[in-house]
A and B are shown apart, each in its own frame.
Chain A
Amino acid sequence: MSERPDPTNWVCPLPLRDTSRIVLGHGGGGILSEELIENLFLPAFGSAGGPSRDSAVLAVPGGRIALTTDSYVVNPLFFPGGNIGDLAVNGTINDLACSGAQPIGLTAGFILEEGLELEVLGAVAEAMGRAAAAAGVGIVTGDTKVVGRGGADGLFVNTAGVGVIPDGVDIGPQRARPGDHIIVSGNVGEHGVAIMSVREGIDFGTTVTTDSAPLHRMVAAILESVGDPNAVHALRDPTRGGLVAAVVEIARTAGVGVELDEQRIPVPETVASACGFLGLDPLQVANEGKLVVFVDPSYSEAVLAAIRSRPEGADAALIGRAVADHPGMVVARTAFGTTRIVERELGEQLPRIC
């Protein structure tokens, strides 16, 4: 997990022409645009950055292509444990990983608001470069647009990703089936609480940091551990809507029911207390570095061991199973042996009054 970048200490490797802020001309395709790429993005992306041309050209090893795109509009841009930059890199890698793909290239598209400080953009770009390098993936092409003041909130990032799915691997929500064991790769709710702690200015007494992390190596370790790639049925990174949304979506797509064992779901005390304070359900709070796995039960021990062997998977747990009953619906079993229906929020989760 990267240090929280401090934009005030960031120094542009080569000072940009006469301005410390983004102006409309940086998106105009002229010299200012070129200088932004040459002097800010390419140095920031470092070894992860690709050559400057209209499209990236990638060599494709055997297998099928996975393609994904995601836009990042998080506010604030910087939060405990990360920022919009590493989030944009890890999030797109994780979308690829959940199809069983190993990423081979990312794109970076920026929408910048006129007046954005270059130091801020530089810190975000550097975080992207560091995250991509750490994940072993290149940022192979990109695009920048500038909109007038008020047309965006500081900066938005879009990352698309291309990955390759090895032959024989067939992972998708439709493949979940009754009997599957459900595993989560670690503590839930950390990213959402980290964001809320800075967005709402609430001091929880201790800092909760984002769990933002790339998951493709964990997925590779899982696939290696089972031997039979068909044993892993569905993977999902439980981002917005949290664990509940991920599990409900798989249940609905596959037409299976799900029983979660609430006691086994790892919720750190800091997250539980923050959520208790705000009246939120930690199972519906976002994660950015967790994996939910639906796996053939005879392989679940191997998968758990593979996940736990990685530092980001130390807290992994078997949290439930898919059932033939109540297809499309998720039921949680409480510590008291009772059950309740678990459903997604209509929109975003709202703090309760009482």
Chain B
Amino acid sequence: MKYLDEFRDPAAARALVERIRSTATRTWTVMEVCGGQTHSIIRNGIDQLLEGAVEFIHGPGCPVCVTPLEMIDRALEIAARDDVIFCSFGDMLRVPGSKHDLFSVRARGGDVRVVYSPLDATRIAADNPDRQVVFFGVGFETTAPANAMSVLHARRLGLTNFSVLVSHVLVPPAMTAILSSPTNRVQGFLAAGHVCTVMGTGEYGPLVERFGVPIVVTGFEPLDLLEGVRQVVELLEAGTPELRNAYPRAVTAAGNAVAQQALADVFTVTDRQWRGIGMIPESGWTLSERYAEFDAEQRFGVRELQVAESDQCHAGEVLQGLLKPNQCPAFGTACTPRTPLGATMVSSEGACAAYYQFRRLESAGGALAPTSATGGASAPTSATGGASAPTSATGGASAPTSAAAGV
């Protein structure tokens, strides 16, 4: 497939792996920020290829993982109403709230629909003037522009039956929180390529300055990720923290001005809870005063709904590498991929879920072994420090960050 196959070439990948390995004089701890990058790393086994040279700590950039429990519960309450058509991206449907998930609401008669774009939701609203249509607006700076456009579109159409349950989160404040944590282990970042496509790279220079960490804007295909790692490792080895763009085919320094304008118009910065991490100041967007009429929390009176995270869940400590997943008392008993208590078990790429799968493989007599000519050691069973979910080979903790609580 043109523009994709070029970035999946095994021979080029091998060359990059060799170059990274020959550059690295020690194991560097690198965080890929975006959930899409984590998915690609796990799917392609890039962590296995780089074992010994790079330990990945999987960043907080998975909207499914970090959307807080109380926001899920607000969604469930709205979706259960008789007068509501509740529209959501597909993978939010199985995220458990404190009692159940959107699938259960649908099974009990709620009108919950999977959409591929927020503009589908405005169309549904236009087609159903006698129903309230609510879109679950989750995600980072990547999904936010389209969600902003849906609000602008709704105003243009004069839709009074459309609203958005906004739970947008922002990357730079999360990175700041991670770097400010006294237990932080992250030495370099692969910044989220598509977030930067929208926002540009201007927000990251100050982080490099303030914390002295290299940040490399990175894409999502295997070669994109390896090129990002190569640059970050070279900067770490040279001791020269810089901001680099390793994804120039999609990212410019200025970003997408039209999208930024829509975001600035529709949203305003707010404090946000992150599941498994806690409150991060000024880390999210909510609807600005000008568009408050489209705010579903206000329309359905669910803003006061507060829910505490499970006290059985130790995701925060797992994320900091202070606890291995299987040392959590709930691991594999109260908390499984079918009945997750915390963010790290929700996503299949989360540290606890990955550890759970790996233990199944291990107890079945198997191992995930890099066998390519990278000279990597075999089975990543050895937990290299901290949380180390062995499926992610290098033992990097998964899902939300190592910063966790105390932020």
Seen from chain A, the residues whose Cβ lies within 8 Å of a Cβ on chain B are 200, 202, 257, 269, 272-273, 276, 278-279, 325-329, 331, 333-341, 343, 346-347, 350-354
Contact = CB atoms under 8 A, between A and B. Distances in A.
22 contacts: A257-B365, A278-B116, A325-B366, A329-B361, A329-B364, A335-B8, A335-B10, A336-B46, A337-B370, A338-B48, A339-B368, A340-B43, A340-B391, A341-B360, A343-B348, A350-B93, A351-B116, A352-B36, A352-B39, A352-B90, A353-B139, A354-B63
B360 A329 contact: yes
Interface string B22-51: 000000000000111001001111101100
Nearest to B93: A350
List the 6 closest A-B pairs by CB distance, nearest first.
A338-B45, A337-B372, A326-B366, A350-B90, A351-B90, A326-B364
Interface residues of B, number: 55
A325 B365 contact: yes
Nearest to B140: A354
Contacts of A339: 45, 48, 368-371
B94 A327 contact: no
Interface of B: 1, 4, 8, 10, 13-14, 34-36, 39, 42-46, 48-49, 61-64, 89-94, 103, 114, 116, 138-140, 142-143, 194, 222, 337-338, 348, 357-358, 360-361, 364-366, 368-374, 391
A257 B366 contact: yes
B195 to A, nearest CB: 9
A337 B61 CA distance: 27
A334 B44 contact: yes
Contacts of B116: 200, 202, 278, 351
Contacts of A257: 364-366
A340 B374 CA distance: 17
Nearest to B360: A329
A346 B361 CA distance: 18
B103 A354 contact: no
B48 A350 contact: no
B91 A351 contact: yes
B338 A346 contact: yes
Contacts of A340: 42-43, 45, 368, 391
B374 to A, nearest CB: 8
Contacts of B44: 334-336, 338
A273 B1 CA distance: 8
Nearest to A351: B90
A346 B90 CA distance: 14
A351 B372 CA distance: 31
B279 to A, nearest CB: 22
Contacts of A326: 361, 364-366
Given A337-B373, A354-B63, A347 B365 contact: no
Given A257-B364, A354-B143, A337 B371 contact: yes
A354 B34 contact: yes
A109 B60 CA distance: 51
B365 A327 contact: yes
Nearest to A337: B372
A354 B49 contact: no
A257 B45 CA distance: 19
Nearest to A281: B43
Contact of B366 (A329, A334, A351): A329
A352 B91 contact: yes
B4 A276 contact: yes
B10 A336 contact: yes
B90 to A, nearest CB: 4
A328 B255 CA distance: 48
B86 to A, nearest CB: 15
Most chain B beta-carbon contacts within 10 A, residue among A329, A347, A354: A354
A276 B373 CA distance: 29
Nearest to B363: A326
A115 B1 CA distance: 45
Contact of B103 (A278, A327, A347): A347
A278 B116 CA distance: 8
Nearest to B368: A339
A51 to B, nearest CB: 43
A338 B46 CA distance: 8
Nearest to B364: A326
Contacts of B14: 336
B355 to A, nearest CB: 12
A336 B42 CA distance: 12
Contacts of B369: 339
Contacts of B368: 331, 338-341
